[in-house]
Chains A and B, each alone.
Chain A
Amino acid sequence: MLLTVTDLRKTYATADGPFDVLRGVDLTLDAGETLALTGESGSGKSTLLHLIGGLDAPDGGRIVLDGTDLATLDDTGRAAVRRGTVGVVFQQFNLIPSLKIADNIAFQARLAGRYDAAWCQTLADRMGLVSQLNKYPEQLSGGQQQRVAIARTLAPRPKLVLADEPTGNLDEATAANVLALMLELVADTGAGLLMVTHSDRLAGQMQHRLHLALGQIAGPVA
């Protein structure tokens, strides 16, 4: 199993006292599988994604990713997981504004020590970015920037791709186009994909679908 999440818990301190954002979440995902995570705002979707991605540490439960229990890792160990095992696509793109598109695409692969020029070129080609490689992020549209972000995530061929509302900033047509490309490329790499989304239509394109409510899995959605 690529990912096993068991009884995962997370509590935030708020002005009104502690808030249990995750109250015992369990899920599994295998390589090559795609899973949509839906839920209302504040249901804990993004928190779950961040914990799985090693961006934050849980208060209880276990996350075993590719055979490694994330709870046993310190900050440096979690950074290594982010660098080498998972790839995260953010809603806000989070490109590096001072680097050209070509360098942005290659960036994470270089960090992971798995840079493959031919694969990066293929990604740029498949994403329709070849004519944009010498430009800077600010010169691209939102849809183009998100395609760059997806290409950057896939460049090191991660085992698990996490996507946090990756099309939330895009119009419907562009969103559908970007998601189709992402699914196609993820399938090519054999990675698992876990995507957080509000959109039923996008969630419907994934193999599995879970609904999160009040910090717990409310059940699979048909």
Chain B
Amino acid sequence: MTRTVFSALLSHWWRNPLQLFTLLAGLALATALWSGVQAINAEAAASYDAAAATLGEGSYDQLTRSDGQPMDQATYVALRRAGWLVSPVVEGRLDGVRIVGLDPLTAPGGLGPVEVTEGADIGQFLSGQGQVFGRADALAALPDGPAQVDSPDVAPGTVITDIGVAQRLLDRPGQIDRLIVAPVQPVTQAPLDTIAPDLTRQVAQSGSDVGRLTDSFHLNLTAFGLLSFAVGIFIVNGAIGLAFEQRRPVVRTLRALGVPLRRLMVLMAAELAVLALVAGAVGVALGYVVASLLLPDVAATLQGLYGATVSGELQLRPSWWLSGLGVALGGTAMAAAAAFWRLAHLPLLAGAAPRALTMAAGRSARVQGALAAVLLVAAGVLALTAGSLTAGFALLATLLIGAALALPLILDRVLALAERLSTGVRARWFWADTRQQLPGLSLALAALLLAMAANVGVSTMVSSFRLTFTGFLDQRLASELYVTAEDAAQADALQTWLAPRVRAVLPIQSAPAEVAGLPTEVFGARDDATYRDNWALLSSSPDAWDAVAGGTAILINEQLSRRSGLAVGDVVPLVGRDFTIVGVYGDYGNPIGQVFMTEDAFLTLYPDVTPLQFGLRLPSAGVPALQQALADDVGLPPTAVIDQAGIKQFSLDVFNRTFTVTTALNILTLTVAGFAILMSLLTLAALRVPQLAPAWAMGLTRRELGLLELIRAVLLAVLTAAVALPLGLALAWALLAIVNVAAFGWRLPMFLFPLDYLRLGGFALVAAALAALWPAWRLARTPPADLLKVFSNER
């Protein structure tokens, strides 16, 4: 019996290949978008983890010099003799490749390829020319010398070698940048400050620093992936719903012929699972293509924004396939749940003719309306009260799902009004017929609504971010030129040389600290009009800048203020001294808290910190000459001198790269929504014939009917766009005012971009028109015999 029923079920798809294609394509697209974005995130995370594992970042405590300078071999030897189990690391760049030198005999286990693995020869690693481990592209960039071992697990752009080899390659004999502290230490070791007082111990952190820095970017990508998946699931839900609707008579027949309901449901679930696995496999492969196309831009963005090195090449990971197929199966189960529920409650003896979708609309419309109202009210309450990331995401979910549920009801009311207002009989029929089509199209229209709202929301957020950020760059990058010295001696000489040549030299110096239990960066700035004129304060006490200049007051950034609850007037202790907060400034993009104080106050707290970087204020016209003089007279390399325009251009380039990714995802999501409309219209086309045949019989030509179908699709897209705009703006507001604040600690002002919205609306209309073109053309060419069948009892 099982085989007979299964073949009967499968025969439906062979006879309705378009429906099968809709289902498979919808699911494959949903999986592709989801798994593509996830793959990018996973690749980036793997790169961060590889970097952390290679460099010991985060995993182990580390010793570094307080002034950031390298330490000598003697310090290391002294610590080892005093019982400290530490291992030296030196690193630097050679031909664009990061060289990391480790001591394999003292390094804790798990650091890079030092644990002897394939291709590693500990003897060769330690002696002679040595061995270097890295990815093929990094190895290829190195000059000839040590033997090279291809190691895909090493972080991108990095090679690992013995410390002696690294010191030779980097021309830094005897120098050590940091010491990795083994997790287990002897109890009897001498205190650090008695052996090496100039060293500071940095405590291990859970997770990678780079990973946390880039969280915001990945959060956006994940949100996009989730949204695309939701749009895809709408398509699948529509396809499954229609397939079940069309198979309702067959299901009744099968049951009437003696197939038990349970067996039938199990077989239909198995059938769907097989289809989901096929579509999932195609989806994962498609996702790989999407990710491969987007990854280079993502990698460049991450490199530019955060200095995070991510491989531009994708590796196909087994976990990918598993998660992709899991998502496809889960998505199908989600999309099919309602259809299965209806199937389980399908009365065996109800009329066997296909139930018109509109007939079912009455009761379910009331339930849907009530659910939409509840969700939108919940969204309203959350908008007023949400303060956490979870509440922010709950707001997004209730808002989007509530709006998607409300859309068919809103459209129905609008169409009913149009029907009442219309005068001609043809117009009345058009509006009534459009209303009748709504239940069948509502899922596709909901998908379009979500896609458009997401586009409006995300593009508003990104563009607002861009406007704010460019303004912020103008404030922060007020100096005309930035120079970096190699060491403290050169920094001193440079300041002396620069003093008569520029209007002001502004040292850029900072030190790590903890304020209200949060990791914070203390920034010491020279009192200068540059800051007063350019830094915008979000809140401040009167004469804030004068108070800061007095040395007893500080400014803090917005994220520190929000996270710690500190505000203007509060007092903060720093290295044993109390400072009063007199202002809060916007500090977009910075993941951690920051304290701004005058240079004098900073130096009393951190006397060992020597600034190596300086901002220079001078008339713009004098910049080229000064650049030339810095190279000729001081001998600074071009990489140590950066002009303001260069930095700004670089930052904007980074942003534009980010836009490339979001724009690509925007277009993909809209394309998926367009596809949903196309598939719904094509699937509905067969059901439409009995509705259109009477109109044809009464004098409308097939051409007119086709044209009306086209107009109908565009009209519905216009109405959907009208709902999507306010929804998208609400989404943008929620992202900027709640999610961003909860996630990153700063709030961006929201700007509106009417031209962008107009362009998006136009794109959606074109997508809807293109999607409707083929079904309309097919309708216009429907043979009269097919239309006549409606009136015979043989149909």
Residue numbers of A with Cβ under 8 A of B are: 50, 53, 55-56, 75-76, 79-84, 88, 90, 92, 94-99, 103, 107-108, 110-113, 136, 141-142, 169
Contacts and interface: CB of A to CB of B under 8 A. Distances in A.
Interface string B249-274: 11011111111111000000000000
Given A55-B349, A97-B250, A142 B793 contact: yes
A79 B255 contact: yes
B1 interface: yes
Interface in B4-46: 4-5, 7-8, 11-12, 14-16
Contacts of B261: 75, 79
B245 to A, nearest CB: 14
Contacts of B260: 75-76, 79-80
Closest 3 CB pairs of A and B: A83-B258, A82-B258, A98-B11
A95 B250 CA distance: 8
A108 B312 CA distance: 59
A88 B256 contact: yes
Interface in B677-704: none
Given A98-B16, A99-B11, A169-B793, A112 B258 contact: yes
A53 B254 CA distance: 14
A110 B2 CA distance: 10
Residue of A76, A80, A99 most packed against chain B (CB within 10 A): A99
B8 A56 contact: no
Nearest to B347: A56
Interface residues of B, number: 29
A81 B348 contact: no
Contacts of A94: 249, 252-253, 256, 352
B353 interface: yes
Nearest to B1: A111
B118 interface: no
Given A111-B258, A111-B259, A169-B793, A97 B4 contact: no
Residue of A79, A111, A169 most packed against chain B (CB within 10 A): A79
Nearest to A99: B11
A84 B258 contact: yes
A79 to B, nearest CB: 4
Contacts of A84: 258
Contacts of B259: 79, 83, 111
B794 interface: yes
Residue of B256, B257, B262, B352 most packed against chain A (CB within 10 A): B257
Nearest to B253: A94
Contacts of B15: 97-98, 136
B11 A142 contact: no
8 contacts: A83-B259, A88-B257, A94-B249, A94-B253, A98-B16, A111-B4, A111-B5, A141-B794
A82 B254 CA distance: 10
Residue of A90, A98, A169 most packed against chain B (CB within 10 A): A98
A81 B4 contact: no
B256 A92 contact: no
B782 to A, nearest CB: 15
Given A96-B253, A111-B1, A142 B352 contact: no
Given A79-B261, A94-B252, A95-B253, 20 more contacts: A50-B349, A55-B256, A55-B348, A55-B349, A56-B348, A75-B261, A79-B255, A79-B260, A80-B258, A80-B260, A82-B256, A82-B257, A83-B1, A90-B352, A94-B256, A96-B11, A96-B254, A98-B14, A107-B4, A107-B8
Contact of A113 (B1, B16, B249, B253): B1
A21 B250 CA distance: 27
Residue of A103, A107, A136 most packed against chain B (CB within 10 A): A107
Given A76-B262, A97-B15, A111-B5, A83 B257 contact: yes
B351 to A, nearest CB: 9
Contacts of A95: 253
A192 to B, nearest CB: 18
A84 B257 CA distance: 9
A115 to B, nearest CB: 9
Contacts of B252: 94
Nearest to A153: B257
A142 B8 contact: no
Contact of A96 (B16, B250, B794): B250
Contacts of A82: 256-258
Contact of B8 (A80, A92, A98, A112): A98
Contacts of A108: 257-258
A76 B266 CA distance: 14
A14 to B, nearest CB: 15
Contacts of B256: 53, 55, 82, 88, 90, 94
Interface in B231-249: 249
Contacts of B12: 98
Nearest to A104: B8
A80 B255 CA distance: 10
B355 to A, nearest CB: 14
A169 to B, nearest CB: 6
Contacts of B249: 94
Interface string B632-666: 00000000000000000000000000000000000
A41 to B, nearest CB: 15
A161 to B, nearest CB: 13
Nearest to A50: B349
Contacts of B793: 142, 169
Nearest to A94: B253
Nearest to B252: A94
Contacts of A83: 1, 257-259
Nearest to A92: B352
Contact of B257 (A50, A97, A107): A107
A100 to B, nearest CB: 9
A201 B768 CA distance: 57
Contact of A111 (B16, B257, B794): B257
Nearest to B5: A111
Residue of A95, A96, A103 most packed against chain B (CB within 10 A): A96
Residue of A83, A97, A112 most packed against chain B (CB within 10 A): A97
A99 B8 CA distance: 7
Contacts of B794: 141-142
